[in-house]
Structure 1
């Protein structure tokens, strides 16, 4: 058994990671499909949380949005066949592979700790209230081309 590097989950399968790599690059078609899915979800929803059902940090982030009464779309990556592809693509887009990856009004605000900091400082609710789908996709999110 191996302890997951990104959550407290223990897995019986080895992660598909090569020495010195955080994740394996996906074939172009899978990357594009994952990017298309991510972009559609982020543009169509004010708040999107890419999550895993067993992750306590994901539960914390979802709890913050429940506390402020904000609607959110939770995408449970461990419940999807393409969850690993989506998570790897999120890593390329945002610079972090950990979950949750939280998007508000088209922009990634980070993970659970970042969401908590924004909430504690009183800045999260105004971000949510400014949202009206379709959200503008943050054009700084682009994938490097595979070779």
Structure 2
């Protein structure tokens, strides 16, 4: 069960950070997403769930909010983008740059 405090924290991050990435430091898909986004901007807010005490609960809150259990879990301008394959698909369609620039 996710506490309302943690769920509120996650919802605030989604609302207030132009680019929010829930990640794990050892995850190759997370690294690919971070590299792709950081090639466009260094302004992404990245939360490494494996490096913080409430990371597992934050991941559960993200599951409740988005229906996505896996990382990376990416939000741009408060909109849930999805995971690495979704980010790479936006890049391939030449839509990622515009989406990020509009958020900043």
Please indicate, yes or no, whether the TM-score normalized by the shorter chain is above 0.5: yes
Q: Which runs of 5+ in 1 are unaligned?
A: 1-25, 133-147
Q: 1:72 is matched with which residue? A: 44
Higher relative contact order (CA 8 A, sep 6+): 2
Q: Equivalent residue for 1:8?
A: none
Where 1:93 maps in the other structure, the secondary structure is helix
Match of 1:128 among 77, 85, 100: 100
For residue 79 of structure 1, report the CA deviation from its aligned partner.
0.9
Counterpart CA distance in 1 for 2:8 and 2:64 is 14
User: Which ranges of 4 or more aligned residues in structure 1 deviate by more than 2 Å?
Assistant: none
* Residues 49 and 72, structure 1, Cα contact 8 Å, conserved in 2: yes
Shift of 1:69: 2.7
Task: Please report how far the alpha carbon of residue 70 of structure 1 lies from its aligned counterpart in structure 2 after TM superposition.
Answer: 4.7
Larger radius of gyration, structure 1 or 2? 1
Q: 1:58-101: per-residue Cα shift (whole Å, max 9, x none)? A: 00000001112352010010111111111011111111100000
Q: Distance in 2 between matches of 1:70 and 1:76?
A: 16
Residue pairs, 1:84-123, within 5 angstroms: 84-123=56-95
* Cα distance between partner residues in 2 of 1:127 and 1:35: 25
Tell me the number of residue pairs that the alignment of Structure 1 and Structure 2 aligns: 104
Aligned CA-pair RMSD = 1.2
Taking structure 1 as the reference length, the TM-score comes to 0.67
Q: Which residue of 2 aligns with 1:59?
A: 31
The TM-score with structure 2 as length reference comes to: 0.93
Write the mapping of 1:20-39 to structure 2, written as runs, cut at 5 A: 26=1, 30=3, 32-39=4-11
Higher helix share: 2
CA distance in 2, matches of 1:96, 1:64: 20
